A = this chain, B = another copy of it.
Amino acid sequence: MNHVAELAGIAVALLSFAYAAWLYLWVKNQPQENKTITKVSGLIQQGARAFLNRQYKLLFMFAGAIAVLIFLVLPAPIWRSTFSKNLSMAVSYVCGTLFSAFAGKIGIEVATIANGRSAEAAQKGIKPSFMVGFRGGAVMGMAVVGACVFGVSLVYYVLRDTQAVLCFSFGASSLALFAKVGGGIFTKTADIAADLTGKVELGIPEDDPRNPAVVADNVGDNVGDVAGMGADLFDSNVASLAAALVIALKLDNASGFNNNVETVFWYAALGLLASIIGVMTARIGKHGNPTKALNSSTYVTTAIYAVLTAVVTAIFGFSWAIWASCVLGLVVGVVIGITTDYFTDDTKNPVHAVAHASATGPAFTILSGVSYGFMSALPAMVGTGVSTLISYKLCQGIDPNYSSDYALFGISMAAVGMLSIVGMIVSNDAYGPIVDNARGLAEMGELGDEVLEITDELDSAGNTVKAVTKGFSISAAGLTVIALLGTFMSEVNTAATALGLDRLTGFDVMDPLVMFGMLAGAGIPAVFSAMLMLGVDRNAQRMVEEIHRQVKADPGIIEGTSDPDYEKCIDIATTGAMKELIPAGLVAILSTILCGFLGGVRAIGGFLVGNIVSGLLLALFMSNSGGLWDNAKKYIEAGHEGGKGSDAHKAGVIGDTVGDPFKDTAGPSINTQITVVSLIASLLSTAFLTLSLFK
């Protein structure tokens, strides 16, 4: 095989960086004149930078330790391996963390300059304001997917070793653990502490600059939704490519067709290209509908991707079954996003039912929200199951001698397909917090009601689109970890062959080790998310104490004559987030390692399966319930069921407070947890195979 495909990946990635740079400069050149907006926006930027710096510092200590461990034991203990081989693993791992960190940094930088500019642009109408928000988000989208394709292509080009790609992916997951989980704890800590002290105790409105937590709250939107979400999708995207590459290389070496690795790289490159075109063509009419503009650019990207990959498949003679699996994954992803939207959209029955139940009292807000959240999981789970089933069946016939490997390759390519338009998805998702911040800034900068109407409309479009992308990203992570399960089995078999042991043909649930692993693994996402939610609560209590201290020490803060110490609050939320995240991360990682050394590869296979199944269920439940409660509260605030100030509204606020850590901390963090666990299992497969207590 020649290296054209990886080079194509690198070329398109460089193109996306160039486009991101152009978009960044365009956003930066938009006017920002209002003094208050400039000041507050600057504070948010400083706060976000402070958070990232501290987080990255801790992360690099953690990553450094892991890199040393990797150097010592992977792909084999250093005394049985070569220096350069183990070094390349450790370096790939570090690159994975660095590339993701770089993308997150870029995203945060642009988001915190786009927010104020989007607010001011709203004075000229919805179109310019939308463009600032959208192009700001697109910088993040381009940076994330560009870094992903660039990194994977580069590592593979230089090392031609899929174990190194797995290490790169593990690096990305480590960063996601910090950025997504830590960011999720930070954002809800600040949100809850600001609400509890501001609205409840001090009786000052939301986003009031006298509240010491207000900057932390706005910073939280950016570090949770922009940097965290970017790291999460970077992680899933890299993992799907890594899973596909492991099997593709194996097939290239063994079967009669040797263009599988090429297929993976071409498809990844084209996904990024389709996203670039999608972003370039996104338009909103002068009085246009921002939701429509965002969704239609997603559909455009999907269509472009399907066409581009078909062309390349025809030119290079790739397998049409693989192409079909890939497109199927993409279509199922979009459909899952749309069905998820049903459960959180404020024009649909579930939101109305929860709002109506709220009139009876907060207990009924919770009960109905939990119920619809439970229901919302089924369509996405069946959809993930269907794409697994069909892509398997489509691809197993490619080469009858390697039918099960091709079937696994088909599943991993469905995951690659589902994640192919992730550039567009990240763009749309990062748009949300920018216009959300813009709305707050427009209020603080007193830009007038007409401007607020525009920013409200843009913000509401962001929320709607966010529901779609969230369901999409959870399902994509689900399909990716199913592909990683195949990778794990493939790695086990490679190791078993090398050791002269029996090959593993699968994970049979009637095998008691698999069943044991499955039951234990299914419990882990529940414990992990519980620890995060309790962590948010503890951390919020710390911040509340600090706010009390400040307000007591300087009465001028509430009188508005002196500035509160915003940074101290940011500092507490940051340190606390890291403190709460580490035990939860360790529980997930150590339980995997413990299960592997106790029960061996079959117990770990079961552990991964249980983890995937219960992780998907809980992630969908928590994300969707949370979104539903948020929108039910807004629906009541819009004047239904008694409107603002009614009992229904009070109940709705309680539902929303429960939903916040559900949807922004625990739910989406489960994605990262299952990916981390799957990658650890793959990387340690040889150790589990040889050193376990039970075999």
Contacts and interface: CB of A to CB of B under 8 A. Distances in A.
A680 interface: no
A617 B357 contact: no
Given A518-B609, A520-B381, A527 B375 contact: yes
A519 B196 contact: no
B526 A375 contact: yes
Interface in A598-636: 599, 605-606, 609-610, 613-614, 616-618, 621
A639 to B, nearest CB: 23
A510 interface: yes
Nearest to A366: B658
A533 interface: yes
Contacts of A362: 362, 654
Nearest to A591: B378
Contacts of A657: 361, 363
Contact of A511 (B360, B382, B506, B510): B506
Interface string A359-377: 0111110111011111101
A37 interface: no
B485 A522 contact: no
A381 B510 contact: no
A96 to B, nearest CB: 27
A500 B658 CA distance: 56
A45 to B, nearest CB: 31
A509 B509 contact: yes
Given A527-B374, A530-B372, A518 B613 contact: yes
Contacts of A159: none
B658 A519 contact: no
Given A361-B654, A509-B506, A513-B389, A613 B519 contact: yes
Nearest to A411: B512
A374 B519 contact: no
> Which one of A489, A524, A526, A618 has the greatest number of beta carbons of chain B within 10 Å?
A526
B363 A654 contact: yes
Interface size class on chain A is 35 or more
A397 to B, nearest CB: 13
B384 A519 contact: yes
Q: Is the interface of A mostly helix, strand, loop or mixed?
A: helix
Given A389-B513, A510-B404, A533 B370 contact: yes
A392 interface: yes
A512 B389 contact: yes
A545 interface: no
A527 B411 CA distance: 27
Interface string A323-334: 000000000000
A523 B375 CA distance: 8
A661 interface: yes
A406 to B, nearest CB: 12
A556 interface: no
B526 A378 contact: yes
A516 interface: yes
Interface in A642-676: 654, 657-658, 661
Interface in A381-432: 381-382, 384-386, 388-389, 392-393, 404, 407-408, 411
Contacts of A509: 485, 506-509, 514, 605-606, 609
A505 interface: yes
A508 B518 CA distance: 13
A534 interface: yes
A52 interface: no
A374 B373 CA distance: 16
A302 interface: no
Contacts of A605: 509
B388 A515 contact: yes
A336 to B, nearest CB: 12
Contacts of A533: 367-368, 370-371
B196 A360 contact: yes
Interface string A531-569: 101101100010000000000000000000000000000
A473 interface: no
A486 interface: yes
A482 interface: yes
B523 A377 contact: yes
B361 A519 contact: no
A529 interface: yes
A448 to B, nearest CB: 34
Contact of A617 (B366, B378, B486, B614): B614
> Which one of A393, A404, A407, A657 has the greatest number of beta carbons of chain B within 10 Å?
A657
Contacts of A527: 374-375, 378
Nearest to A544: B360
Contacts of A382: 519-520, 523
Nearest to A379: B523
Interface string A237-272: 000000000000000000000000000000000000
Contacts of A368: 533-534, 537
Given A381-B520, A381-B523, A530 B374 contact: yes
B512 A486 contact: no
B372 A516 contact: no
B654 A516 contact: no
Given A371-B533, A516-B386, A658-B367, A486 B506 contact: no
> Which one of A361, A515, A599 has the greatest number of beta carbons of chain B within 10 Å?
A515
A531 B378 CA distance: 13
Given A506-B511, A510-B404, A533-B367, A621 B361 contact: no
Contact of A537 (B364, B517, B617): B364
14 contacts: A362-B654, A366-B654, A366-B658, A375-B526, A375-B530, A381-B520, A385-B515, A386-B516, A389-B599, A522-B614, A522-B616, A526-B621, A610-B613, A614-B617
Closest CB pairs A-B (n = 10): A506-B508, A363-B657, A378-B523, A392-B512, A385-B519, A385-B516, A371-B530, A374-B526, A374-B530, A506-B510
Interface of A: 196, 357, 360-364, 366-368, 370-375, 377-378, 381-382, 384-386, 388-389, 392-393, 404, 407-408, 411, 482, 485-486, 489, 505-520, 522-524, 526-527, 529-531, 533-534, 536-537, 541, 599, 605-606, 609-610, 613-614, 616-618, 621, 654, 657-658, 661, 694
Given A366-B658, A375-B527, 12 more contacts: A374-B527, A375-B526, A378-B523, A378-B524, A382-B523, A389-B516, A393-B512, A507-B508, A522-B617, A523-B617, A613-B614, A654-B654
